[in-house]
Amino acid sequence: MRRGRLILVPNTLDFGIAGAAAPLDDLLPRSTLRAAAALSHWVVENAKSARAFLKRVDAVQPLATPVQGLQMQELPRPPKGGKASIPTEQWQALLAPLRQGLDLGLLSEAGLPAVADPGSNLVAQAHREGFEVLTLAGASSLVLALAASGLQGQSFAFIGYLPVEATARSARIRELEQRSRKEGQTQIAIETPYRNQALLEALLAALQEGSQLSVSRALTTAEAWTRSARVADWRRQPSSLPGDQPAIFSWLASA
């Protein structure tokens, strides 16, 4: 019996950016759209936005199964404020279509699944059970921002979210700047869009003036923008960030 494959389907990076979306076939390869259109079983981060994405796919590459007929399950989330892990049985249950010989798509809200997005536990479970995992071509905001930054691209670390509390956030930024200086390593972080400006101001306050700071926002959209400069230059010529556009923050300490 044929064994199903777990197929990681990239989403666009324009989620929630009103009026900035480009045509889907300008953002994702035709081969990716064809593969996505052929799938009938999905595990997704959010079912409503996943259906909206697949309607965009259908307009370019007709779906083999109408959106209403797609079998769609959402990724489980740990309880808020809790550290309890998701039981293995839940990940196993999500992979049921693979055991029936059906391919299963994994889709997150933006970019590549399991990269700065949930889904890695499902991928790990698929490997444990010996299923093939296939990643389709698409954009990763982290890689695009790093490429546009002009910072060290041979050694970099994705930190994820920094602490929200001001004192803890400043301490973490200084700690990461020290690591960057010691290892010559670019540090990359993200933030919830409405807190982008607060993070930018915290970085400018905590980083040393000789360090390089790069910010990319709204990548792959008509609003795309990247600025990369010394912290001293940022302070002399401040920039403001919209509170409704995803942004990537990268910094590299001076030697």
pLDDT in tens, 88-134: 999 999 999 999 999 999 999 999 999 988 899 999 999 999 999 99
pLDDT band at residue 87 under the 50/70/90 scheme: confident
The candidate with the shortest Cα–Cα distance to 136, out of 37, 45, 23, 65, is: 37
> Could you say which architecture CATH assigns to the domain 141-252?
2-Layer Sandwich (3.30)
Domain segments of the chain: what residues? 5-135, 141-252
Selecting from 3.40.1010.10, 1.10.3720.10, 3.30.460.80, 3.40.50.300, what CATH number does the domain 5-135 have? 3.40.1010.10
Query: Do the beta carbons of residue 114 and residue 120 sit within 8 Å?
Result: yes
Residue 78 in this model has a pLDDT that exceeds 80? no
- Residues 175-205: pLDDT tens digits? 999 999 999 999 999 999 999 999 999 999 9
- Residues 199-239: pLDDT tens digits? 999 999 999 999 999 999 999 988 899 999 999 999 999 99
The candidate with the shortest Cα–Cα distance to 180, out of 161, 202, 156, 201, is: 156
Token representation of residue 223: 């609003």
Nearest-10 Cα torsion for 123, 127, 129, 131: 90
The H-assigned helical ranges of the chain are 24-27, 30-38, 47-60, 88-94, 96-99, 120-128, 141-149, 166-183, 196-206, 231-236
The string of DSSP letters for 211-251 reads SEEEEEESTTSTT-EEEEEEHHHHHHS-----TTS-EEEEE
pLDDT band at residue 81 under the 50/70/90 scheme: low
What's the DSSP call for residue 113?
Answer: T
Q: Which amino acid is at 159?
A: I
Residue 85 in this model has a pLDDT that exceeds 60? yes
